[in-house]
Structure 1
Amino acid sequence: MGDLLKFMRPKYTPVAIYHTKEFPSYAAKPSGESCIVASMLLHAFKSGRTVAMSYDLVGCKGALSGLGLGGQDPEARSSQAVAYSTGTEDNPGRGYFCSPEVARSNYLDVIPVYGTREDVVVMQPMDEAEKMNAPIETVVFLVGALELSALVTMAGHIGRT
């Protein structure tokens, strides 16, 4: 990773994402009810700090699947299918799908559910995660169009000599 960063010289350090069973004492906790995935990533990119999330800290329940915290329970997924389609008398639907059944089969049922509710998701600057030998699962780059083009081009050449 060091050579890649030396050539790219990105404005922000890459962020490593991984799961662990214990909440790191040095990690910040996100606050608020907004989409925590974006706010966690931006906090890690801009401040260079480690941010961690556990099931009980999630305000936006859609993040349970996205972060690998065991997903939503079946009742919540059913109500989400209604919200994404027709809605109820009290709460109009968003109209993304024509019916709850279509929303469920074409969207909610294809979202993989992984991890458990006991997991903790950590977003940490890549260099720190590497020094700690963290079990890195994903690396996220916050880049502009030129850097993205370079990353895509390099990804096509991995393994070639």
Structure 2
Amino acid sequence: MRDLSRAFPIVAEPESVLSARVWHCKYKSLFPLAELSNLEELVIAGFPDDSFEFFSKLEKLRVLHVLHMPQIFDIRPLAKLVHLKSLSLATLPSWDASRKTTTIQSLEPLTAIPELAYLELLGICSLDQSLAPLERCKNLRTARISNYPKAEIERFFSGAKVINKFNPEPSFC
């Protein structure tokens, strides 16, 4: 938490790490997280990279929370996380007041995650401003969404069997 080092620390036994929190650290990249092959829960605040590509190596990931990912435009690598059950993508709370968002290409990759049950998209908006792809997430139980057109959010929740509720907290919080 709040590590001022520029390089991610070397983890002595990366396969033994099941959960991690990287909170407002100054690392140039979080790519070394890919070495934590048994990681099940990951919480990040301040994502420095411009790609989620290394997440695809975290095949056992069940919980992923990313706060502040201003350089991310493409979430396709998340589609490979077939065990992901809880996903939270959010901008900084200070961005909410100004309605500032992070724009991603599409929500379509989320439809490929078979176990996705809990979703938060707070200040993360697709180019087309449509929540329609989420209707194909068969196991989605709860969602919390902001900064989409009000009519689109109402349409989504009225047609889907999804409850407007925050995700459960990771087990190590």
TM-score range, shorter chain: under 0.3
Length-normalised TM-score, structure 2: 0.23
Length-normalised TM-score, structure 1: 0.24
Structure 1 or 2: larger strand share? 2
Higher Rg: 1
By relative contact order (CA 8 Å, sep 6+), the higher-ranking structure is 1
Structure 1 or 2: larger helix share? 1
